[in-house]
Amino acid sequence: MKRILLLGGTGDALTIARRLGHDHVYSLAGLGRLPGDLACSVRVGGFGGVEGLQAFIEAQSIGLIVDATHPYAAQMSRHASAVSALTSVPCWALRRAPWQPQSGDAWCEATDFPSILDSIAPYHHPLWTLGREPLAYLDEIPPSQHWTIRCLDAYPGNARATIIGARGPFSLDGERALFTTQQTDVLISKNSGGAATEAKLRVARERDLPVVMLQRPRLPPVEREFSDTSSLLDALAAWLDPYPLFDKTP
C-alpha cells in the first residue's frame, strides 16, 4: 500500500481529496467547513509542530506528503518540508500562481500589517479580505475610517467596523453589491491566486479603486511543484501505480 498525506485548507485541496480513496489521509487545520462526503480519512487540527508531524508520518506509514495548503499558510508548508528532509518521505506541493495586476490597476504591495495601515491611511471605507487578522486592530481604527472585514465567521463589530462572515467562492455581482453597500474605496487582499476569490479584483478595476496586496510569504523548496490540480492528480496516479488513486473497495 502507498499512502498519501494531503495537507489541505483550500478548494484545490478539496478537489484532490475527492479523488483519493480510503487508504489516504486529508488533513485540515479546522478553520473552514469539514467535508462529510469523502472516501479518504479526514483528520483535523495541528500535528504539534515538526515533531508531531514526523511522528504522524511514521506511525501512519505515509509514503508521500502533498502540501496543498493556502499560499499564506507558510508554517505548515515549512513543517512539511522539514519533515520530508528528516524522514526522506517526499513532499510535493501545489503552488497556485499569484494574481498579476492588469494595465491600469493601482496595486501596492505591503509586507506586513503596519505597512497596510500606512497605505490605507488616506481612505475612509477599506474592505479587508485577509481573514481574521484585522480583528485584532478593532480598537485602533482611526475616527476617519469605517472598516468592513470579511472573514470565515461573523463576529460582533463596533461603531467603526462591520464584520461579515462569508466563505468563497464569491460572484462578481455579489462583490459589486458589497462594494456599493459598504462604500468601499480601497481593497486589502492576500495574493491568493485562483478563481474563487478573484471577482473582488475585477470590481476594484471597474471602479478604479486601489488595492493593497499583502506580500506572499516565502515557501520552502519541495521535491516537485505543481501549479494546477490536474497535473498533480496525474502525477499522483503515476506515483501510486499499480494501485488506483481512488479505490472503491472498503
Pick the closer one to ligand NAP by CB: 115 or 205.
115
Exactly one of 31, 135, 138, 235 binds ligand NAP (CB under 6 A); that residue is 31
Show the DSSP H helices in 88-162 as ranges: 113-120
d(CA 250, CA 247): 8
Binding mask 75-94 for ligand NAP (x = CB under 6 A): xx--x---------------
d(CA 43, CA 25): 7
Is 221 a binding residue for ligand NAP by CB under 6 A? The answer is no
Segment interacting with ligand NAP (CB under 6 A) among 42-50, 106-114, 176-184, 236-244: 42-50
CB of 248 to ligand NAP, least distance (A): 25
The x, y and z cell numbers of residue 26, run together, are 486529508
Strand ranges across the sheet with 91-94: 41-44, 25-28, 4-7, 64-67, 91-94, 224-226
Is 9 a binding residue for ligand NAP by CB under 6 A? The answer is yes
Pick the closer one to ligand NAP by CB: 9 or 126.
9
DSSP 178-225: HHHHTT--EEEEE---SSTT-HHHHHHHHTT--EEEEPPPP----SEE
Q: How many residues belong to the site for ligand NAP (CB under 6 A)?
A: 22
Binding residues for ligand NAP, rule: CB under 6 A, are 7-9, 27-29, 31, 46-49, 52-53, 69-70, 72-76, 79, 131
